[in-house]
């Protein structure tokens, strides 16, 4: 079996990350827009983007965005996306991604990690509970329709 490596993402990782995000969300996103967002996000020092590889194959990724929140009194990291290719699930790869994230988060003085997971992802909920996350809140969303800007008068 090839060696598992977990490392910070770089620009050249866009293609597998794009494929993972499309699979995670079960839709195809605008690739040009996604690449711009990806590059912007990995350049932000408050974000942590990780890639898991087996040999030369990308098999998983995780993204975490940190914010300095007044109601927590410090930096809080929120896992935005986490994906492991189906044929490599239940092999401990997700745990290794989280362990690597926790090390980096501590070095950045992040005081807490959070994750929101779609209600339909029951296996993901079980995974997070089994890795130390506790369900403490409910998330409410309010999609805003276009346009996303106010035209000048």
pLDDT tens track for 135-151: 999 889 888 887 766 66
Degrees to nearest 5, angle at CA 95 with 6 and 13: 30
**Measured CA distances, 45 to 113, 142, 146 (Å):** 16, 28, 30
> Looking at the domain assignment, is residue 15 inside a domain?
yes
More confident residue, 151 or 9: 9
Q: Is the pTM of this model over 0.85?
A: yes
pLDDT tens track for 72-123: 999 999 999 999 999 999 889 999 999 999 999 999 999 999 999 999 999 9
Domain total for the chain?
Answer: 1
> Looking at the domain assignment, is residue 153 inside a domain?
no
Expressed as residue numbers, the domain containing 35 is 4-130
> Looking at the domain assignment, is residue 138 inside a domain?
no
CATH number of the domain within which 112 lies: 3.40.630.30
> Looking at the domain assignment, is residue 149 inside a domain?
no
> Looking at the domain assignment, is residue 124 inside a domain?
yes
> Looking at the domain assignment, is residue 62 inside a domain?
yes
């Amino acid at each position: 079996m090839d060696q598992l490596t977990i490392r910070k993402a770089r620009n050249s990782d866009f293609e597998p990350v794009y494929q993972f995000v499309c699979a995670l969300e079960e839709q195809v996103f605008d690739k040009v827009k996604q690449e711009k967002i990806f590059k912007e996000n990995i350049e932000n020092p408050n974000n942590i983007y990780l890639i898991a590889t087996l040999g030369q194959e990308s098999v998983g990724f995780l993204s975490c965005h940190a914010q300095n929140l007044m109601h927590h009194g410090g930096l809080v990291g929120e896992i935005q996306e986490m994906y492991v290719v189906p044929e490599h699930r239940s092999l401990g790869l997700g745990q290794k991604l989280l362990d690597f994230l926790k090390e980096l988060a501590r070095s950045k003085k992040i005081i807490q990690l959070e994750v929101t997971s779609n209600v339909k992802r029951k296996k993901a909920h079980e995974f997070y509970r089994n890795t130390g996350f506790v369900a403490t809140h409910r998330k409410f969303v309010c999609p805003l329709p276009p346009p996303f800007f106010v035209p000048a008068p």
